[in-house]
Structure 1
Amino acid sequence: MKKIGFIDYYLDEWHAEKYPAWMEQASGGRMKVEFAYGQIDLPDKSSNAAWCAKKGIQLLSTIEAVVEQSDYLVILSPDHPEFHEELSLLALQSGKPTYIDKTFAPSQAAASRMFELAEKHRTPMYSTSALRFADEYADLQKIGIESICSLGPGEFGNYAIHQIEPIIMLMGIEVKRVMWTGTDKTPSLIIGYADGRQATINLYGWDCPFSMALRYEEGASKFIQIQSDFFSRFIANLVGFFESGKPVVSQSETIAIATVLERGLKARFTPHQWVLV
């Protein structure tokens, strides 16, 4: 059995709670989360020690210990990507397959540094939104997409990734500029491509399902609502990555996504004006 190590900002969060059972099941018992490290305890959540005791996972006192004793590594902190570079530093020097949870990096510069470190030490590494693996996206024709209007729940800081990643996957990385058109409660961002194509993301609150309208150059249009079990496909892909060491998401896409997110947050302060990417 291969041992998985979790490295997190704090362990009492949804991804850390769900991933262990899912990965053990998806791997047919070939993989199991055995070790974990949490950087802080939050007063309104279970302590890292209490969380590990409940889950039957060994809490280690240092990131170094988790890296040394694990076969595969998962950097979590899904709602605090500003800590990903710090938390992944030793993992990316280990040569061991490492997954870094969404959102990968808060800036283009941080994303590039993390990939450079992984490449220097020949560490297989990738990051993705689980939404990438929704069946509804897999069935879409990518060629000829002229425009996309995307909708979904959540706040921009930790949920915009779930709309931006599918757009980059479908329309490519050649983004030229972004423009903030939303409000504080309903963030909205226009993503402009170098060739004139365009996409928008809209975050309309927790009751708004992930959905997307597409227009093709020849005039056809399509509407989809994400209803498939994308997390099970994501976890299956993650297990496959650990076994093969081959990520399915390209470095160029992940850096482009980080760049759009960074410029999107910057564009909030100058609404209705283009910010170059």
Structure 2
Amino acid sequence: MGNIKLGMIGISEGNGHPYSWSAIFNGYNRSLIKECPFPSIPNYLSKQKFPKDAIKEGQVTHLWTQDKKISQNIAQTTYIENIVENYVDMIGKVDAILLARDDFKLHYKICKPFIEAGLPIYIDKPLANNIKEAKKIFALEQYEGQIFTCSALHYAKEFSISQAELEKIGPLQYVDACVMNSWGKYAVHIIEPVVKMIGSQGQQIEVTKSTAGQKNIVTVCWESGLQTTFTSLGNIDCPIKIRLFGEEGCKELVFKDTYYAFKKALQTFVDIIQKKEKPLNKHFVLKIIEIIEKGI
């Protein structure tokens, strides 16, 4: 497949992905982006060079949000040619869908007609907040690799640790990770990169949860003896951080480059469509959702 025509679906509270994801494919208007209601987006976009830093294999050609004025603003800012009245109107006009909303309770309803129509779809994190709903969505798949979902931090370069670095701190004994905002929507940003990083640790032997106000702390003890703690801090402003403790030392990893992570995640979706990458590992996704569910 050559230049992939993408349909963008947004927007949900506190989530500016329709602006940023569209810009990663289409570029953006430097004057209009200043009006974007998510200040971090023009900040990190301004550090890139377009069209050089855009994804070349796709273009967002169609857009739907539940608010016509927001749709018009996103479309003008990121050069989207078509705004549709109903998201299902994209069927037959695009090659793939970007469901850029993290209000996961609506994921099944919105994604169902596209999956049944055979379109590849990227569903924003988290796919669901419980195993039953996630399996219900996966059961819609018409073919292997049709559904893609992730936390973009799965691809963060700051959370890509080499085997040499792991060997330097020795066998892992404890991993601690924290993220701001709510557990339901944002815990995936730390759980997913940590589970990727620690590899096979056997079964979850024990999961404990404690809450204090908006703070949520979930500790997972694995069959291997490794203990991992995931903390969502509510409205406490803090960087997304992972700390690894081994027998020989420790290492702190701090997330910084949002653009890189978003672009890498979107590029992976495109590469799966073009069969340059293997389809999504559903077992891995369900392992992440299992921890999210236990923390609710």
- TM-score range (shorter-chain normalised) is 0.7 to 0.9
Name the CA distance, whole Å, in 1 between partners of 2:92 and 2:213: 44
Q: Secondary structure of 1:86's match?
A: helix
Does residue 190 of structure 1 match 2:219? yes
**Are residues 1:130 and 2:160 paired?**
no
How do residues 178-217 of structure 1 correspond to structure 2 at under 5 angstroms? 178-204=207-233, 205-216=235-246
Q: Deviations over 1:175-225 (max 9, x none)?
A: 344222231232211122233321111233453111111123x44322222
Q: Deviations over 1:68-99 (max 9, x none)?
A: 21111111212x01111111102222333211
1:147 matched to 2:174: yes
SS in 2 for 1:240: helix
Partner residue of 1:252?
283
Q: Which runs of 5+ in 1 are unaligned?
A: 266-277
Distance 1:12 1:212 in 2: 23
Counterpart in the other structure of 2:271: 240
Counterparts in 2 of 1:62 and 1:121: CA distance versus 1, 3 Å: farther
Change (3 A) 1:247 1:14: farther
**Secondary structure of 2:6's aligned partner:** strand
Query: Contact 2:72/2:83 (CA < 8 Å) preserved in 1?
Result: yes
Greater alpha carbon shift after TM alignment, 126-135 vs 205-214: 205-214
Task: Please report the RMSD computed on the Cα atoms of aligned residues, expressed in angstroms.
Answer: 2.8
1:27 Cα offset (Å): 5.6
User: Helix, strand or coil for the counterpart of 2:213?
Assistant: coil
TM-score by length of 2: 0.76
Matching residue's letter, 1:41: D
Q: Number of paired residues?
A: 258
Equivalent residue, structure 2, for 1:64: 88
Whether contact under 8 Å (2:88, 2:113) holds in the other structure is yes
What CA distance in whole angstroms lies between the structure 2 residues aligned with 1:213 and 1:10?
A: 31
Unaligned runs of 5+ in 2: 27-50
Q: Which amino acid aligns with 1:114?
A: I
Secondary structure in 2 aligned to 1:117? coil
Describe the SS at the equivalent of 2:129.
Answer: coil
Aligned counterpart in structure 2 of residue 6 of structure 1, from 8, 18, 30: 8
Paired residues of 1:12 and 1:51 also in contact (CA < 8 A): no
Contact 1:147–1:199, Cα closer than 8 Å, also in 2: yes
Q: Could you tell me which residue of structure 1 aligns to residue 118 of structure 2?
A: 95
* Whole-angstrom CA distance in 2 between matches of 1:36 and 1:172: 38
Match of 1:111 in 2: 134
Structure 1's 154 and 27: CA in aligned 2 closer, same or farther, altered over 3 A? same
SS in 1 for 2:214: coil
Give CA deviations for 1:96-154 in whole Å, capped at 9, x if unaligned.
32111111112101111211211x44552211101111112222446843320112222
TM-score (norm: length of structure 1): 0.81
Q: Which runs of 4+ in 1 moved over 6 A?
A: none
Aligned to 1:272: none
Partner of 2:294: 263
Residue 33 (structure 2) aligns with:
none
The 1:252/1:36 distance shift into structure 2, 3 A limit, reads same
Contact 2:183 2:216 in 1 (8 A): yes
**Cα distance change on mapping 1:199 and 1:249 into 2, 3 Å:** farther
- Is the aligned partner of 1:225 residue 2:254? yes
